[in-house]
A and B are shown apart, each in its own frame.
Chain A
Amino acid sequence: MSFINYSSREINCKIVYYGPGLCGKTTNLQHIYSKTNPDLKGKMISLATETERTLFFDFLPLALGQIRGFKTRFHLYTVPGQVFYDASRKLILKGVDGVVFVADSQIERMEANVESLDNLKTNLAEQGYELAKLPYVIQYNKRDLPNAAPLEEMKRLLNPNGVTEYEACATNGKGVFETLKGVAKGVLSDLKKLR
């Protein structure tokens, strides 16, 4: 749930970028970070090793305007994608307000995508969430690669319910902000419903 700080008149929302290992979650955040006005962003914390493994999370506070006099601040997190770091993923999902599932378009990673999506649903369910009821978008990343699976196939496997989806190439920024706006819109819309 979003955290409202009445003294500073701020609403803090948590958006988690989920997906299989090396699908581009961190690259998404790095692009957002690099393109955001320094006055609007906090410090990005990334616990990564030389093997590109995100051991804990990336954290990026991002201010995105106001709702009824309250500033909204988005905290963007990524999870470690490697299948066996499930405990960290569960921890990071706590209190989530919106989810971006970043799918790796390479056909060789399709099983990992499906596993990661299943894992997301399971971990959310453990905390009493239901993916269908959360602001949630899918990003098909690495669309520029020659071994990218056809989009239709990916939609069929990963998005049977037709949630909002975006094609992206996070390394050059294509689709990154569209994805963020998509999920942020869902989160803000949920916030308005609560009021």
Chain B
Amino acid sequence: MIAACPKCQAKYRVDAERLSPEGARLRCAKCEAVFRVRAPDAPQAAAPVAPAAVAPPQPQSQPQPPPDPGPLVAPRVAPPQMASTPSMEPSVEPPIDRERLVIVADPDVETGKRVMGALASWGLQPVLVHDGVEAMLTIQRMLPRAAILDAALPKMYGFQICEMVKRNESLRSMNVVLVGSVHHQDRYRRPPTEMYGADVYMEKPDLPAKLAAVLQGFGYPLAAAPAAAPPPPQAAAPVAQPPTPQPIAQPPAQAAPAPAPAPQAPVPQAPAPQVADDGLGEQRANAERLARIIVSDILLYHPEQFEAGMASGQIAQALEAAIAEGRGFFTQRVDARVRDERDFIMDELHRVARERGGQ
């Protein structure tokens, strides 16, 4: 089975057969967070699902909670876990309800946790990631209906992801909420939504509070939408109690058919493509970023040649020397495997030309 660190999302292959019913504690080699892993069919694992799924039958759920807090001796780590763990599991399981799936990409653990808590309490299936490359891969793999992207994600910016999503035929229909860290949106000459194609631009301080209305605007049926007066829950979020039961209440229908066999089938699938994609995906993203910077420099220093090239339809000739310089640098910096896939610099140049030509 695959276990994911609730803090940094690093994935580990764990032999489920060697886990005791209580599970085992793991220390993440990447971020050193300690978390508990339980076997998929262990009664313990079922426990968190069962009580909430059968929320009304309290007799069952009451005996369960005591053991739960017991093993959660690592409750410090648990709160972030509470929010992300349930989401990571469905991400591996097949019964993903894409209509309720939302990717949350935020580098800040606390903010991510708050948003996850709110989304879960509204009956959605949130998946939390902490960097841009991971977000892009998760989006491609899980095809969520919406993504909430912090603009300044590490490794790949949220606005880059947004642009890529909106340029991709198969992803374009996904709703993207771009999140900036500050107020004063009006200081942008062009609104960020227009610049990067995001459906909505929000500012971090408004995040959980105004999110319900945004998601309803996308047509999400929010379970506790009225309770989306959650600025108070937001404050209460650290308690992590209210949000947790809700996401668990989600899978009932789904969790029922997929109690034990389900986890097995997808588990090998999920990590495999990720590992395969990871290295090259990141390099590809870096190559695209570098091409954008090179082209941005070329246009900045040679605006007349660019305009002339646009007018004559011969941009490559008009900027020949500058492009050659740019290519030289690009070749030094980008791995040949990625470099040879396509002409990144010319593609970017043509993209900009199309964009400017359209204006």
Q: Spell out A's residues near B (CB within 8 Å).
A: 20-22, 51-53, 81-84, 86, 107-109, 111-112, 115, 146-153, 156-157
Contacts and interface: CB of A to CB of B under 8 A. Distances in A.
A153 B181 contact: yes
B293 A111 contact: yes
Contact of B290 (A109, A115, A146): A115
B296 A108 contact: yes
Interface string B294-329: 101100111000000000000000000000011011
A111 B297 contact: no
Given A84-B326, A149-B188, A156-B181, 19 more contacts: A21-B297, A22-B300, A22-B301, A51-B302, A52-B301, A81-B297, A83-B290, A83-B326, A84-B294, A107-B188, A149-B187, A150-B180, A150-B182, A150-B183, A150-B187, A151-B182, A153-B180, A153-B181, A156-B152
A146 B186 CA distance: 10
Interface of B: 151-152, 157, 180-184, 187-190, 195, 289-290, 292-294, 296-297, 300-302, 325-326, 328-329
13 contacts: A81-B297, A82-B297, A83-B294, A83-B326, A84-B297, A84-B326, A111-B289, A149-B187, A150-B180, A150-B182, A150-B183, A151-B182, A157-B152
A83 B151 contact: no
Given A84-B328, A150-B180, A111 B188 contact: no
Give the top 6 A-B pairs by smallest Cβ distance, nearest first.
Answer: A84-B329, A152-B182, A147-B189, A146-B189, A150-B182, A82-B297
B199 to A, nearest CB: 19
Contact of A83 (B152, B157, B183, B329): B329
A148 B184 CA distance: 11
Contacts of B292: 111
A84 B325 contact: yes
Nearest to A86: B329
Contacts of A52: 301
Contact of B301 (A82, A86, A148): A82
B284 to A, nearest CB: 16
Contacts, number: 65
B151 A153 contact: yes
Nearest to A157: B152
Contacts of B188: 107, 147, 149-150
Contacts of B190: 147
Contacts of A153: 151-152, 180-182
A147 B152 CA distance: 18
Contacts of B297: 20-21, 81-84, 112
Contacts of B184: 150
- The listed residue with most A CB atoms (<10 A of its CB), out of B180, B190, B297, B302, is B297
Contacts of B181: 152-153, 156
Contacts of B294: 83-84
A147 to B, nearest CB: 4
B359 to A, nearest CB: 14
B202 to A, nearest CB: 14
A127 B227 CA distance: 57
Given A84-B328, A153-B152, A156-B152, A112 B296 contact: yes
A109 B300 CA distance: 10
B105 to A, nearest CB: 15
Nearest to A82: B297
Nearest to B157: A111
Nearest to B186: A150
A82 B188 CA distance: 25
B107 to A, nearest CB: 10
A83 B292 CA distance: 11
Nearest to B151: A153
Nearest to A49: B301
B357 to A, nearest CB: 17
A33 to B, nearest CB: 23
B296 A111 contact: yes
B57 to A, nearest CB: 48
Nearest to A81: B297
